Structure 1
């Protein structure tokens, strides 16, 4: 059984006592760990919108050689080349699933294909829509993260075993997952070839929609969202530059990929606390609302997550 638990206070530690008591950034963290803050919003964002998580890790994540542009041929297909050649058309669009035969040599990252989008990640506006098809695991000594936005993953076929800096998430069919901007992760295929959909949100973060006249319950309930339990790899050396192995870390920054190779695992967070973390949700727990008299309500009654804009009631994207 996968190690997940409900975390209403959003705290987790892989070693008891790794979380500081009473403060976030002590002068001497427990076990000699390093304190880092992962920010999803500005520090001064309104309290109800503020997204921050404190990480307590074995080595600083900033201790790595400089990132360099990824070599040609390593970028996810259509992410880099086609993002600058987006065609805006007024037609309805649909996409057939990508063939498993064509994806057998691709992992989750290289199997991402950008098919639609709007806006610009440098301006923190808009989104990118992807279809993914993967036939193999990511290399166990690799990690990927996006500096452009949060990634909503919707498996259509095959289960994904996702290792994040904050712990593991096993995402099955009929479940969804959200990986926040800046969180490193590695994807393994838990049940063979996998394909599905993904949406990268450049603007803001996903949240539960307001319920209005529905009342206090219904649609997706906060208690049903699951966060990972802290878990770390022991594959690290005495210093950030001396380790037993080499890890390839790839970052997507302004729809361009960069890479660096570091001597320590990126999965070394021993404890964390905050409200900015990966999570998953079982769509079978969605409490659908519908009419019992006549006609048909708007499809917004089926919204699981919404990404809001400054205009009240208007979203960048609804899922």
Structure 2
């Protein structure tokens, strides 16, 4: 495409998202590229190759089955042999390089490097659980990128990728189209999709959850009914976009916990049309419809679940993606910050912007914390004293957007995370001021 056509496409693309979580979509960049009535005709239109992309088993129940038919200039098998790469700071589960402590852990933001690092080179693993080989659990990474991915693409065969930008926008160029993502939005890329990340603002930092388990889906609403939480229509999928470029490219693939590189003689973003329900998508977190208490008591944080990855045990997730967005708090005679608790789930938290109501000091945007299974936690001393004495009235939490990756499996931190200068060794001290207040009536 010419630069003018590319600009026209991007402007047009902004008006032509396909909406609806998990729906079957069909889109073509050129009229007539998408076959009608048959997914795999003897000869696909325009001399294209038909290729099915599946992210669930062929025989998965219909409502869980995810697959997409791509109609592309060259099939994906047109590539060279792989060679192993050094993985840098990227790790996969199980992590055995350090003993996992039950301590409460918190880190300051990772800084940007003076060296040019693209999205892949900048990935640093903080913790992981489960196992890549058994397809359970997840890994959590931080990216601090300051350069575009040039003539290189990435494919993760180990897991689905959930990207949570904290600073700087991203342009994700994927096999199935383009997606622009800003802080306050999230991007999900299915396991196995090839993509490239560019940085419109020159640098970007954020969080990545690599989901080894079942694909993310919307949680059930239960008694809430037909509306509320994340609504299907607010999820946005790309329209077809392709490039027909013969040149030297590199494809980096993460497979079984390791990185490999192979050569391509063409751009892999050559899908001219596609139809299906397994594709990258984005979601604006401001469209999440918060359900909260309007009488008394503090509901469990599960009311803030945006997406869930199921495990083999009903009600206990492989991963829940939970947010704490701007909202009204009106509960009467109630301690409003998150209560003190111990939990069978392990909690990794990050802060996109503002202040988190349970941690007003020390937990800053770009930072993160890890509270593993049964580790006691809750509001710091100053927050407890302030909230327990507050004159309660309806209050709007405005400048805040925090999130949590919550898992049934214990997160094992990497050596980098435990030995990093960004780790707050004095984190436990924020609770040391909690005093005995018991009075024998």
The 5 Å alignment of 1:269-284 reads 269-284=271-286
Alignment of 1:1-319 (within 5 A): 1=11, 3=13, 4-7=16-19, 8-70=23-85, 72=86, 75-79=87-91, 83-100=95-112, 102=113, 104-139=115-150, 141-236=151-246, 245-319=247-321
Alignment partners' CA distance in 2, 1:81 and 1:291: 38
User: Is this contact kept in 1: 2:92–2:132, CA < 8 A?
Assistant: no
8 Å Cα contact 1:13-1:271 kept in structure 2: yes
Q: Compute the displacement of 1:63 (Å).
A: 1.1
Q: CA RMSD in A?
A: 1.6
Q: Matches of 2:308 and 2:114 in 1, distance apart?
A: 31
Secondary structure of the equivalent of 2:220? coil
3-state DSSP of counterpart to 1:231:
coil
Following the alignment from structure 1 to structure 2, what is the Cα–Cα distance between the partners of residues 231 and 6?
A: 13
Q: How many Å separate the matches in 1 of 2:64 and 2:94? A: 33
Q: Structure 1 residues 50 and 304 mapped into 2: Cα distance closer, same or farther (>3 Å)?
A: same
Deviation at 1:291, TM superposition (A): 0.4
C-alpha change, 1:113 and 1:124, in structure 2 (3 Å) is same
TM-score by length of 1: 0.92
1:85, distance to aligned residue in structure 2 (A): 1.9
* 1:86 to partner: Cα distance: 5.0
For the pair shown, the structure with the greater C-alpha radius of gyration is 2
Query: Deviations 1:196-225 (Å, cap 9, x if unpaired)?
Result: 101000011000000001101101001000
Aligned mates of 1:87, 1:230 — CA distance in 2: 46
Residue-pair matches, total: 306
Q: Which ranges in structure 2 are unaligned for 5 or more consecutive residues?
A: 1-10, 322-441
**1:24, CA displacement in angstroms?**
0.6
CA distance in 2, matches of 1:103, 1:153: 23
Cα distance, 1:201–1:136 mapped onto 2, change above 3 Å: same
Instruction: State whether residues 94 and 129 of structure 2, in contact with CA within 8 Å, keep that contact through their aligned partners in structure 1.
Output: no
For residue 6 of structure 1, report the CA deviation from its aligned partner.
Answer: 2.1
